[in-house]
Amino acid sequence: MKLSFLLAQRQALLRQARLAHLAHAYDRLDDFAYRIARARLHGEVHLQATAPESGNYAASLTARQGAQSVLEEHFTDGDIMSLADVVADITGQLDLDLTFPLEELASRFLAPLRQQLLQAGIELDHHHGTDAPPDREDSAGRLRQDDRG
């Protein structure tokens, strides 16, 4: 590949990289929104990104309402780090420190991404949605014994 060809393709490549980045964020947030809806999680939470300069080496998701143990049951430390990274990235807040109702994660963060992707002509063929019948699953998303085949 010639340098001149690569330079000529620069704008198109940057656009594709930006769209791929948005698609990744959308996919991660869609997964979180699905898990939140499926488990019927709700209540105000505090999401904070890592801040190594102040000794905070892990992202945190803290329940302001409800039990912290419920959040810990549904999200690993890696999940929370991923969530904080994606939200910090799409909001542009590197020192992320947000409080919001957990049940509003989709409307607050996922919906704007969806709009951006659709406006860019991207067909959203991959998403979890919230179509799973929650009454057939327990709070951890496992099928109840009477529903197994």
Domain boundaries, the chain: 29-131
Let me know if 76 is exposed, middle or buried by CB neighbors in 10 A (0-12, 13-18, 19+): exposed
Strand order in the sheet with 44-48: 60-63, 44-48, 97-101
Tens of pLDDT along the chain (149 residues) come to 899 999 999 999 999 999 999 999 999 999 999 999 999 999 999 999 987 777 778 899 999 998 999 999 999 999 999 999 999 999 998 889 999 999 999 999 999 999 999 999 999 987 665 443 344 344 444 333 333 33
Q: What is the pLDDT of residue 63?
A: 96
What is the separation, in whole angstroms, between the first and last Cα of the chain? 55
**Which H or E run includes 86?**
helix 77-91
Is the C-alpha dihedral spanning 84, 89, 90, 92 positive or negative? positive
The number of beta carbons lying within 10 Å of the beta carbon of residue 71 is: 19
